[in-house]
Amino acid sequence: MSWQFTKASHIGGRKEQQDRVNILKDNKNKQYCCVLADGMGGHQGGAMAAQQLMDISQQLWPPNIPAKQWLEKVCQQTHQAIQQEGKENNINPRTTAVLLLIQKNKIYWTHIGDSRLYHIRGKQIIEQSYDHSVVQMLVALGKIKPEEMATHPDQNRLTKSLGGDEVLSIDIQTQKVKHQDVFILASDGLWETITPEELINANQQSIDSLIATAAERGGKTGDNISICFACYQSESVWERLLFFEGNR
């Protein structure tokens, strides 16, 4: 079993980079974690909030408790740390979060806010996280189409974040992976400007050009942009053969 990882960020048209992205590795035990955060630009301390997730996930790495408990612990401790920082400085910092925990050939993931996780298999997006946002609710109600989300006036109104006064609830998904499964973690600065087809065709070598394209399309007022790319390469001959036969 082997995994390929790539991460990249761009400040976009903003004055401050409030996105954070990291890849935690424990090669001995074949476990890894991709972590992405987008500090909320409308709130003071967004960069600090995003960095709290990076710091706390690093401090708690590698997991010494079951995967789901570890993800919950990281998110809850980050939530509390941001709240405390906000109280001490009389500000209201918040951040989105996506965490993809890999243990051998099984993944566990959670997300908060409108930073996304995409699971791509055989040139199809087979799973995509559900934004915790007002516009996602409008899509669910049939008021707008998914392709209108990026440009809707309420796009930045989130219903869940790390930080803030709300009690944090966390949903964790889990599943086994197959040969050449791809996982992409993306801040809204990326998915607002990059098409699903471009994401599907992304590979380890094209990440920098994908970021550059997003920055160009976002222009002078574009958001911060971040991506984390993970691809599973099975060492099983049978699994590789099944993948080949299924894509003939």
Q: What is the average pLDDT across 39-50?
A: 88
Note down the domain range covering 67.
Answer: 2-246
Q: Which pLDDT band holds residue 156 (cuts at 50, 70, 90)?
A: confident
**C-alpha–C-alpha distance, residues 236 and 241, integer Å:** 9
**Which tens digit of pLDDT belongs to each residue from 157-191?**
999 999 988 899 999 999 999 999 999 999 999 99
Confidence category of residue 31, pLDDT binned at 50, 70, 90: very high
Report residue 235's pLDDT band, with 50, 70 and 90 as the boundaries.
confident
Average pLDDT over residues 100-110: 96
Domain containing residue 151: CATH number? 3.60.40.10
pLDDT, residue 104, reads 87
Q: What is the pTM of this model?
A: 0.94
CB-CB contact of 82 with 52 (8 Å)? yes
Rounded to whole angstroms, the Cα distance separating 60 from 182 reads: 25
Q: What does the mean pLDDT of the chain come to?
A: 93
pLDDT at 155: 84
User: Residue 10: CB partners within 8 Å, gap ≥ 6?
Assistant: 189, 211, 212, 214, 215, 224, 225, 226
Displacement of CA 49 from its chain's centroid (Å): 15
Domain count, the chain: 1
Residue pair 158/114 in contact (Cβ under 8 Å)? The answer is yes
Lowest mean pLDDT among 54-63, 64-73, 139-148: 139-148
Neighbours of 65 (CB within 10 A): 11
Least confident of 2-6, 16-20, 91-95, 233-237: 233-237
